[in-house]
């Protein structure tokens, strides 16, 4: 195929793309006009029914809570699978090459950013019912921020935090707590995942019943899951590099 | 505002092409990270801030990180194989 032919084929493909693109963009609804009926119904009803101002989290943790429970256990099983696949074989102790880390300036900046990101993550997890965010987002923010520790310090420091049995326990607790909250109403002959806690005042931290509690437990689970995932991957690479050295 | 939405969509299409066309894996991961950030901007423009937040962290941080770690592992295996052959 010559260059000329190739260019010809490109122009045909580009013309097709342009056609599809303009047909797609032309019919976009105007700014702020959402066409889905279900979404409009939910946003009209959440504040009265659930005392939650963030309709998205009211859907994910309450109206369609069973789906989120399933996703939570998908994450749990996936992380468990990674850890089993990359489990530690008999390895020599890896303290042979203590890494000095980066300069003091980088360490100080990383520490400051880590602190603020930690606060942001906790804020997102606990305010899931009030503003955009929620347990998943908050958890991933905290876990990703912890990578700063590895970047600025070294793997030993990161390992001391994340290989702790507490992290594994938190992961199981976070996942299990969600299921338990869902099962409590079964004891009162109510459907699974009924919002059984008092709804509180709209707009306050303690409101919207189970939505806030589930958001926090998801936050715990996701934080621990991503920490364990990062630890397992890093462990696999670093111990290999030490073997090589 | 909808013109902006259309532009973001076009930019995403171009960036996606750039991700596929990049051959160096490290550069490709950086392009992927940028693509993830653009997706987050798109979600925000189309009024889905919850999804935009997850997309920022997962698409721009967690996914590139995992790919980079896997890449480091593969590079090490390639080095080992070369050493054995030599």
| SS3 assignment for chain B | CHHHHHHHHHHHHHHHHHHHHCCCHHHHHHHHHHHHHHHHHHHHHCCCHHHHHHHHHHHHHHHHHHHHHHHHHHHHHHHHHHHHHC
d(CA A53, CA A193): 19
Mean local confidence (pLDDT), A158-172? 85
A59: DSSP letter? I
Does the structure show a pLDDT above 70 at A58? yes
- pLDDT tens for B17-43 read 999 999 898 899 999 999 999 999 999
Cα angle at B74 between B72 and B79, to 5 degrees?
A: 95
Lowest mean pLDDT among A95-104, A120-129, B5-14: A95-104
| pLDDT at res. A138 | 92
The answer to whether B49 contacts chain A (CB < 8 Å) is yes
The ipTM assigned to this model is: 0.81
Minimal-distance CA residue of chain B relative to A32: B47
The answer to whether B20 contacts chain A (CB < 8 Å) is no
Contact A137 B54 (CB under 8 A): yes
| pLDDT at res. B39 | 94
Residues of A with CB below 8 A from B10's CB?
A: 21
Q: How confident is the model at residue A245 (pLDDT cuts 50, 70, 90)?
A: low
- For residue B44, the distance in angstroms to the closest alpha carbon of chain A comes to 11
Q: Both tokens of residue A243? A: 């073997």
The answer to whether B7 contacts chain A (CB < 8 Å) is no
Does the structure show a pLDDT above 60 at A97? no
To the question of pTM greater than 0.95 for the whole model, the response is no
Contact B57 A132 (CB under 8 A): no
Mean local confidence (pLDDT), A194-202? 84
Contact A230 B65 (CB under 8 A): yes
Number of alpha carbons in the 13 Å side-chain half-sphere of residue B69: 20
Q: How confident is the model at residue A95 (pLDDT cuts 50, 70, 90)?
A: low
- pLDDT tens for A126-153 read 998 888 888 899 999 999 888 888 888 7
Q: Both tokens of residue A152? A: 């600025």
Lookup result for tokens 């963030």: A54
Does the structure show a pLDDT above 90 at A200? no
Contact A28 B6 (CB under 8 A): yes
| pLDDT at res. A9 | 93
Q: Both tokens of residue A53? A: 């101002």
d(CA A175, CA A210): 15
Provide CB contacts within 8 A for A135, sequence distance 6+: A61, A125, A128, A214, A215, A216, A217, A218, A219, A220, A221, A222
Of A21, A141, A233, the CB nearest to B69: A233
| pLDDT at res. A203 | 82
């Amino acid at each position: 195929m010559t260059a000329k032919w190739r260019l010809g084929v490109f122009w045909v493909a580009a013309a097709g793309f342009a056609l599809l693109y303009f047909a797609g963009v032309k019919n976009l609804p105007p700014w702020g006009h959402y066409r889905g009926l279900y979404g409009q119904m939910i946003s009209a009803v959440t504040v009265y029914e659930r005392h939650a101002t963030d309709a998205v989290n009211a859907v994910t943790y309450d109206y369609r809570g069973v789906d989120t429970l399933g996703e939570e256990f998908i994450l749990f099983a996936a992380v468990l699978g990674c850890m089993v696949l990359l489990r530690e074989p008999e390895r020599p102790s890896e303290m042979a090459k203590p890494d000095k880390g980066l300069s003091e300036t980088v360490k100080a900046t990383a520490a400051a950013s880590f602190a603020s990101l930690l606060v942001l993550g906790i804020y997102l997890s606990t305010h899931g019912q009030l503003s955009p965010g929620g347990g998943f987002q908050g958890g991933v923010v905290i876990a990703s921020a912890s990578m700063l520790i590895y970047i600025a310090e070294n793997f030993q420091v990161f390992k001391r935090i994340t290989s702790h049995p507490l992290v594994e326990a938190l992961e199981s607790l976070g996942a299990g707590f969600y299921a338990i909250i869902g099962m409590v109403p079964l004891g009162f002959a109510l459907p699974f995942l009924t919002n059984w806690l008092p709804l509180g005042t709209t707009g306050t931290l303690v409101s919207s019943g189970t939505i806030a509690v589930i958001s926090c437990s998801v936050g715990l689970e996701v934080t621990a899951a991503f920490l364990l995932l990062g630890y397992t991957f890093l462990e696999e690479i670093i111990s290999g590099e030490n073997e090589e050295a | 505002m909808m013109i902006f939405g259309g532009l973001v969509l076009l930019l995403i299409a171009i960036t996606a092409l750039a991700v596929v066309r990049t051959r160096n894996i490290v550069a490709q991961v950086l392009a992927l990270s940028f693509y993830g950030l653009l997706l987050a901007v798109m979600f925000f423009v189309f009024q889905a801030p919850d999804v935009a937040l997850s997309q920022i962290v997962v698409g721009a941080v967690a996914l590139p990180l995992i790919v980079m770690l896997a890449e480091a592992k593969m590079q090490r295996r390639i080095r080992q194989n070369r050493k054995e052959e030599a």
